[in-house]
Amino acid sequence: MSNGTMMQVELNDVFKTYRKHISVHALSGVSLTLAKGDFGAVVGPSGSGKTTLLNLIGALDKPDSGAIRISGLDLTSTPPDRLAEFRLRHLGFVFQSYNLFPVLSVLENLEFVPALQGKPKAERAARARELLTETGMLELQDKRPDELSGGQQQRVAVLRAILTEPDLVLADEPTANLDSQNASLLLDMMERLNRERHITFLFSTHDPAVMSRARRLIRLKDGRIARDDTREP
């Protein structure tokens, strides 16, 4: 999928309903295509289906009906072990709660995914230090998450997501816990990674700052796409 193959995400007539005390139609007939290099944001009120959409694209959940394909791989019919391998090799995730390992240093957190991929220690440490240097954070490499500010933790979380150069990074409300200055720094970094490394980003967000940077805005309402607007970079 990497190595020259153009990543494309396709959703075709996707439905997802959560059944608790009542049935909640999280997504109702969503069709959507993402191209390599998109820098997009899914927006809409709480309960409109933003997080559900990201979870389905990220193969963290399965739709009730419809098809989801990434570069031809049908996520809905792929067995769980192959899906786990696919996520490991091709997707990066950023959560609003950072999800860093508290007992690991920044460097060790960054090395975690390439270690799972079987990359040699020297190679993954060098790559992590290179990214930390590029983003002006090398002095943080030996610190643990509780020694970092929220903004620093979230930037480390983004670096961890992109370290292995995935085809697609899914970021669920990445600026939710950040002040405007830290949010701006985070968005600067993600825009640069998108522009220079052609990593595709898809956010869910309520944040006007994220919306103003996104080159594509996908507006959800009641589980459906209400608008899908693209603007020139």
DSSP codes, 187-203? HHHHHHHHHHH--EEEE
Q: Where are the domains of the chain?
A: 8-224
- Residues sharing a CB contact under 8 Å with residue 135, sequence separation 6 or more, in sequence order: 155, 159, 189
Query: What is the amino acid identity at position 103?
Result: V
What is the pLDDT at residue 6? 64
What is the pLDDT at residue 4? 42
Of 139, 151, 85, the closest CA to residue 107 belongs to 139
Task: Please write the tens of the pLDDT for every residue from 137-169.
Answer: 899 999 999 999 988 998 898 889 888 888 899
163, HSE (Cβ side, Cα atoms, 13 Å): 33
What is the pLDDT at residue 233? 62
Element (H, E) at 10: strand 8-19
d(CA 89, CA 162): 11
The answer to whether 40 and 190 are in contact (CB under 8 A) is no
Average pLDDT, 10 consecutive residues per value, the chain (233 residues): 63 90 82 93 88 92 93 89 88 84 94 89 93 90 94 88 88 86 86 88 92 94 92 73
Is CATH 3.40.50.300 the classification given to domain 8-224? yes
Instruction: Supply the pTM of this predicted model.
Output: 0.86
Q: Would you tell me the crossing angle of helices 180-197 and 150-162 to the nearest 10 degrees?
A: 10
The two three-digit tokens of residue 10, written as one number: 């396709």
d(CA 181, CA 167): 28
